[in-house]
Every structure is written in C-alpha cells, then in structure tokens.
Structure 1
Amino acid sequence: MLITVSGPPGSGKSTNAAGLADRLGVEHVSGGDIFREMAAERDMTPVEFNEFAEEDPRFDRKLDRRLRETAETGDELVLESRLAGWLAAEHADFRFWFDAPLSVRAERIAEREEKPVDRARAETERREASERKRYRELYGIDVDDLSIYDAAYNTARWPPDRFLDVLVATVEAYDPAADEGKAPIEGVRYDF
C-alpha cells in the first residue's frame, strides 16, 4: 500500500508519517529531508532555498521527479512531502493532508529549529507564499485545493500518540475496492 502524507511546514507531516510507517511496518520517504539536504548543499536555509528555487525551477523538478519515481516504484511505503498527494496521485492508495493553525505550526518549528516563534512564523509565511507560487507556475497545482485527499486532519486536535491511533484506524478501515475505476485528478500537468 502506498500512502501519501502532505501538509504545510510544521503540520506534523514528518513526525506522523514516520510514526505511521513504523506502526504499519513499511518504509518512510521524506521529501522534506531531501529538500533540506539540497538546501544545506548550497549553504542555504530552507526559506532561502525556496526563494532561490523560484528563480530556477530545476531544483523543484529534480526533487519532485525523484519523489514521483519513488511513488511509481514503491509498494509498502509512506511518502511524505508538501506535494506527495499530487506527485503520487495516480499510484497512491490513500492520501492524507495534515494541517494546524499557523500559531501552532510556528511554535513547533521554533522548538524544532531552536529559534524565536515570531521568526519561525515569518519564515513559514514566506516559505508558504514561495511554494504556493512555484507549484502553481510549475504544475498548475493549487496547494489550497484539498479535494484530492482522502482525509484531512488538524493535527493540533490530538496529542501525537493518540493521533497515530487515528491514522492507523483510518488506514485499517480503508477499502481498496472503493477506488476501482477512479478518475485521474483533473487540471494537473504531470510533467514532474
């Protein structure tokens, strides 16, 4: 089963995707980890690299192509990235969207990256604006359109261990027969 996990920065994608993969006994691939590695290779922060990528779409395409290839060849896998649901739209058995209020996400990021909350919030807003622009220009994707997802959750509503119980229960209740004959997602240029 291929499961995708998407959402904005600080929504709990990485933590919950890793936990879900562990609980299901499958592999976890993180687009965020790959993106941060690409930024570090250029001695940039993720925000700086986002803005740099606005000027040169090769970096987005390289990352997105790698994630799409993973989706095409991955079987027992939780694929996690901002665009995972879109990149694996034709292959995913189940697509999750995670979100939380910006104030909660900024606090999570500030704690994780050991920086002031107001700085984390400002950087997150810049990063999201950059990504929203790039994804629309490159692929015609509106990241605010959640219609492609099978389930969307506000991760601030549950403690982390209880939220994993919710995710596992959701996956276990999934009926693959319900997907037979589903149409491809409209309006996306699949030229990753």
Structure 2
Amino acid sequence: MTGPRTVVLNGDLGSGKTTVSVALAERLGVRRVSIGDLYRQMAAEHGMTALQFNLHAELDDKIDHHIDQLQHDIAASGEPLVVDSRLAWHFFRGAYKVHLVTDPLVAARRVLGRPGGPVEQYTSIEDACTQLAARSESERQRFLTRYGADKTRLQNYDLICDTTSASPADIVTRIIECAAAPACFLDPHRVRQTSSTESDGEIVVLHQNPHFFAVCGGLRLDAAVRAGETLIPVQLVNEAEKVP
C-alpha cells in the first residue's frame, strides 16, 4: 500500500477479523475501529446474546440506524483507519475492502475457544456451528432487506483471503501487497474438485457460500495441496454467471 488509505475488513464469524485488524493497524500505524465491539456492547446492555440481539435488530431498525450513523460519521471524517465491520464496505466507498473467509468448522472451534461471556455462549462445536450460521444468515437477510447489500457476494470486495490455515501475519502481508488490484487467495484444501477440473491452467473457482468449487486448474490445485500451501491465488467465477 502506498499512502494512507482506510482499510475495511468484513468476514465470516470466527474468521479472525479482530486479530488481523489489530495487527494490520499496528503495521500501518493507524487507528483501529471495531463496529463488532460496539455491537456486542449493545447486546450486553440489552441482556442478550449476540444471536438474540441480531434477531431483535431485525424487528427494531433503530439499532441499525444508530450503527449506520456512526459508520457514516467515521467515514466522513476522512481519517485513514482500519475498520473491523461486516458492513463497512457498504459505507466507506473509497476504502480498500477486504473480506476474510474460513472453514465453518474452524470458525466454530475458534469461537468455542474464546473466553466465555454473556453475549456469546456455546455448549459444543455443533452448537457453535449452528449459532454462527444462524447469526450470519440473520445479518445477511437484514442487510439485504435494509440496504440491498449481500455481504456474501464476493464481488463486493477488493481482496478475499482465506484464514483457515494461514497465519494472521500472512494475511496482513497479502492485504498490504495486493492493494493495487483485486485478488483472491484461498486455502487449497478447502476448494472442492469437480469432474471438469483436470487441467494445469489457472485455478478458477466458483463460490457457493460457504463452499468453493474448482471449475478448472485441478492439477495446480492438487500440487498446492501436496505441497502443504495455505494460500493460493485463484480467479473467481462471477457469481451471476453460470459455470461453463
């Protein structure tokens, strides 16, 4: 990255947004803002879990209006920031937009390993998977209804990075190095092969949330898996197009 520019990080629940955003802000020497921290604070003040507060917000639009105004005000300030928020990409028009993805089971293990609290409570891996999926879908539907914005549409972002196996330091490096052009980096172990992928060309991938399917470049994908790589560059098929 050259010159100060706001970076907004969206991502799956349990994708490591907090860890990556903290490290990125330190690396860039800018202030970090977490909308998620504010949201969890509001949930606690209402005596609710995060999932309960999401469902409550579907019925009470004052919650989203408050957070929206906060993000508008922050964006209008012009201060270069690192913003950890699942909707900041919609409000910070000129920002560098990064989306983090991760395997749902890995995400569940991560949130289950966090210190317990009244806002996020999980009894097992299965419970964590169920709650995370429900929270994510609740948010997606709310954002679609209120803003016409689908957070799972990867074409919304400048950079997609898979945090399933890659270290936070590796993710921060990709964010800084790839700011000049759109890019997507995935864990090759997560990309599912299809019958038409036996080629040695560029790895082309179709996203069907939360899964990724290779439509060509299977030989390169196999080689990356055998080599134990954690991040590989891929080309995304436009989600509005049919797979050839």
By the TM > 0.5 criterion, same fold?
yes
Kindly state the Cα deviation for residue 73 of structure 1 after the two structures are TM-superposed: 0.9
Residue of structure 2 aligned with 1:97, choices 67, 88, 99: 99
Q: Distance in 2 between matches of 1:139 and 1:167?
A: 27
Note if contact 1:27-1:77 (Cα within 8 Å) is conserved in structure 2: yes
Aligned residue number for residue 133 of structure 2: 125
Kindly state the Cα deviation for residue 128 of structure 1 after the two structures are TM-superposed: 0.9
Q: How does 1:29-44 map to 2 (within 5 A)?
A: 29-44=33-48
Which protein has the larger Cα radius of gyration, Structure 1 or Structure 2? 2
> What amino acid maps onto 1:169 in structure 2?
E
Change (3 A) 1:10 1:99: same
Aligned residues: 171
> What amino acid maps onto 1:136 in structure 2?
L
Q: Distance in 2 between matches of 1:113 and 1:125?
A: 20
Determine which structure has the larger helix proportion and give its number.
1
Aligned residue number for residue 55 of structure 1: 59
Q: Distance in 1 between matches of 2:137 and 2:178?
A: 31
Determine which structure has the larger strand proportion and give its number.
2
Q: TM-score, normalised by structure 2?
A: 0.66
> What amino acid maps onto 1:104 in structure 2?
V
Cα deviation code 1:128-150 (max 9, x no counterpart): 11101110111111112121211
Aligned residue number for residue 228 of structure 2: none
Kindly state the Cα deviation for residue 113 of structure 1 after the two structures are TM-superposed: 4.3
Q: Distance in 1 between matches of 2:72 and 2:138?
A: 21
Change (3 A) 1:113 1:87: farther
Give the gaps of 5 or more residues in structure 1: 176-192
Kindly state the Cα deviation for residue 168 of structure 1 after the two structures are TM-superposed: 2.8
* 3-state SS of 2:154 partner: coil
> What amino acid maps onto 1:39 in structure 2?
A
Aligned residue number for residue 148 of structure 2: 140
Kindly state the Cα deviation for residue 50 of structure 1 after the two structures are TM-superposed: 0.4
Aligned residue number for residue 17 of structure 2: 13
Q: Distance in 1 between matches of 2:111 and 2:23?
A: 18
Misfit runs of 4+, over 6 Å: none
Aligned residue number for residue 163 of structure 1: 171
Q: Distance in 1 between matches of 2:40 and 2:27?
A: 25
Aligned residue number for residue 113 of structure 2: 111
Cα deviation code 1:8-40 (max 9, x no counterpart): 211111110111011110000001001001101
Aligned residue number for residue 189 of structure 2: none
> What amino acid maps onto 2:26 in structure 1?
D
Establish whether residue 71 from structure 1 lines up as the match of residue 103 from structure 2.
Answer: no
Note if contact 2:161-2:171 (Cα within 8 Å) is conserved in structure 1: no
* 3-state SS of 2:157 partner: coil
Q: Distance in 2 between matches of 1:91 and 1:68?
A: 13
> What amino acid maps onto 1:139 in structure 2?
Y
Kindly state the Cα deviation for residue 170 of structure 1 after the two structures are TM-superposed: 2.8
Cα deviation code 1:27-86 (max 9, x no counterpart): 000010010011011111111100111111110121122122212214220111111111
Identity of aligned residues (%): 33
Q: Could you say which structure has the greater relative contact order, defined with CA pairs below 8 angstroms and 6 or more residues apart?
A: 1
Q: Distance in 2 between matches of 1:146 and 1:64?
A: 22
Q: Distance in 2 between matches of 1:40 and 1:68?
A: 24
Q: Distance in 1 between matches of 2:56 and 2:125?
A: 24
